[in-house]
Structure 1
Amino acid sequence: MNRPIRNLAIACMAMFLALMANATYLQYWQADSLNSLTEHDNNTRVKDATFSEPRGQILVGKKAIALSKKSNDRFKYQRVYPFGAEYAHIAGYFSRSRFGGIESSQNNILTGDAPGLFVNRVIDLLGNQAPQGGNVVLTLNAKAQKAAYEGLKALGNNTRGAVVAIEPATGRILAMVSSPTFNPTRMANHDISISDKAYDRLLADKLIPLNNRAIEERLPPGSTFKLVTAAAALSSGKYNPDTLVPGGASLDLPQTSKDLVNESRGSCGGNKITLTRALEVSCNVAFGAVGLKLGADALREQAEKFGFNKRDFFTDLDDPLTSQATSEFPQDVDAPQTALSAIGQASVTATPLQMAMVAAGIANNGRVMTPYLVDEIRSADLDVIKPIEPKVLTPQAITPSAASKLAEMMVAVVDNGTGRTAQIPGIKVAGKTGTAQSLPSRPPYAWFVSFAPSVNARVAVAVLIQDANVDRDAISGSGLAAPIAKSVMEAVLNP
Structure 2
Amino acid sequence: MNRPIQRVGMAVIVLVLLLVANLTWVQVLHAPALRASEYNKRSQIDTYSRQRGLILDAEGNVLAETVPSTGQFKYQRRYPAQPVQAYATVTGYYGPHFGAGYGIESAENAFLNGTDDRLFTQNFVDMFAGRDPRGGNVQTTIVPGLQTAAYDALRGGSCNGPCRGAVVAMEPSTGKILAMVSTPSYDPNLMATEDYTAAEASWNRLKTEPSPLRNRAISELYRPGSTFKVVTAATALRAGLKSDVRLTSAATFPLPGSSNSLPNDGNPPRACPGASGGTVTLAQAFEYSCNTAFAQLVTQKLPGDPFDEFTDTALGFGVGENPPGIPLSVAKSAIGDLDGDRAALAQSSIGERDVKLTVLQNAVNAATVAAGGVRMRPYLVDRLQSADLGTVAATTPSELNRPLTAEDAAVLTRMMVASEQSGRDAQAGIASKTGTTDPNETGSAYAWYIAFRPGANIAVAVMVENGTGGSQAYGGLIAAPIGRTVLNASTGGNR
How much does 1:438 deviate?
3.3
Which residue identity lines up with residue 115 of structure 2 in the other structure? Answer: D
Q: Distance in 2 between matches of 1:421 and 1:337?
A: 34
Q: Distance in 1 between matches of 2:238 and 2:221?
A: 26
8 Å CA contact 1:422, 1:483 repeated in 2: no
Q: Distance in 1 between matches of 2:338 and 2:479?
A: 32
* Worse-matched range after superposition: 472-481 or 459-468: 472-481
**Count of aligned residue pairs for this structure pair:** 455
Q: Which residue of structure 1 aligns with residue 466 of structure 2?
A: 467
Q: Which residue of structure 1 aligns with residue 217 of structure 2?
A: 214
Q: Which residue of structure 2 aligns with residue 358 of structure 1?
A: 365
Summarize the Cα distance change of 1:63–1:280 in structure 2 as closer, same or farther, 3 Å threshold. Answer: same
How much does 1:441 deviate?
6.9
Q: Which residue of structure 1 aligns with residue 13 of structure 2?
A: none
Q: Which residue of structure 2 aligns with residue 150 of structure 1?
A: 152
* Worse-matched range after superposition: 188-197 or 337-346: 188-197
Which segments of structure 1 move beyond 3 Å, counting only runs of 4 or more? Answer: 23-31, 438-441
8 Å CA contact 1:141, 1:492 repeated in 2: no
Percent sequence identity is 38
Q: Which residue of structure 2 aligns with residue 317 of structure 1?
A: 328
Q: Which residue of structure 2 aligns with residue 412 of structure 1?
A: 418
Cα deviation 1:175-198 (Å, max 9, x = unaligned):
000011111100001112211221
8 Å CA contact 2:171, 2:367 repeated in 1: yes
Q: Distance in 2 between matches of 1:26 and 1:113?
A: 22
TM-score, normalised with respect to structure 2: 0.87
SS in 1 for 2:48: helix
Summarize the Cα distance change of 1:474–1:166 in structure 2 as closer, same or farther, 3 Å threshold. Answer: same
Which residue identity lines up with residue 266 of structure 1 in the other structure? Answer: R
Q: Once superposed, what is the RMSD of the aligned Cα atoms?
A: 2.1
Report matched runs for 1:95-134 at 5 Å. 95-96=95-96, 97-100=98-101, 101-134=103-136
Q: Distance in 2 between matches of 1:438 and 1:299?
A: 26
Which residue identity lines up with residue 443 of structure 1 in the other structure? Answer: S
8 Å CA contact 1:458, 1:493 repeated in 2: no
8 Å CA contact 1:70, 1:76 repeated in 2: yes
SS in 1 for 2:87: helix
Q: Which residue of structure 2 aligns with residue 32 of structure 1?
A: 32
Report matched runs for 1:295-334 at 5 Å. 295-318=306-329, 324-333=330-339, 334=341
Which residue identity lines up with residue 68 of structure 1 in the other structure? Answer: T
Summarize the Cα distance change of 1:56–1:245 in structure 2 as closer, same or farther, 3 Å threshold. Answer: same
How much does 1:289 deviate?
1.0
Q: Distance in 1 between matches of 2:135 and 2:26?
A: 25
8 Å CA contact 1:168, 1:457 repeated in 2: no
Q: Which residue of structure 1 aligns with residue 167 of structure 2?
A: 163
Report matched runs for 1:169-188 at 5 Å. 169-188=173-192
2:47 paired with 1:50: yes
Q: Distance in 2 between matches of 1:473 and 1:361?
A: 30
Which residue identity lines up with residue 46 of structure 2 in the other structure? Answer: A
Structure 2 unaligned segments of length 5 or more: list them. Answer: 1-22
How much does 1:292 deviate?
1.2
Q: Which residue of structure 2 aligns with residue 190 of structure 1?
A: 194
8 Å CA contact 2:56, 2:62 repeated in 1: yes
Q: Which residue of structure 2 aligns with residue 223 of structure 1?
A: 226
Q: Distance in 2 between matches of 1:336 and 1:30?
A: 54
Cα deviation 1:372-413 (Å, max 9, x = unaligned):
1000011212222211111222x2111111111101111111
Report matched runs for 1:388-427 at 5 Å. 388-393=395-400, 395-415=401-421, 417-418=422-423, 420-424=424-428
Structure 1 unaligned segments of length 5 or more: list them. Answer: 1-22, 319-323
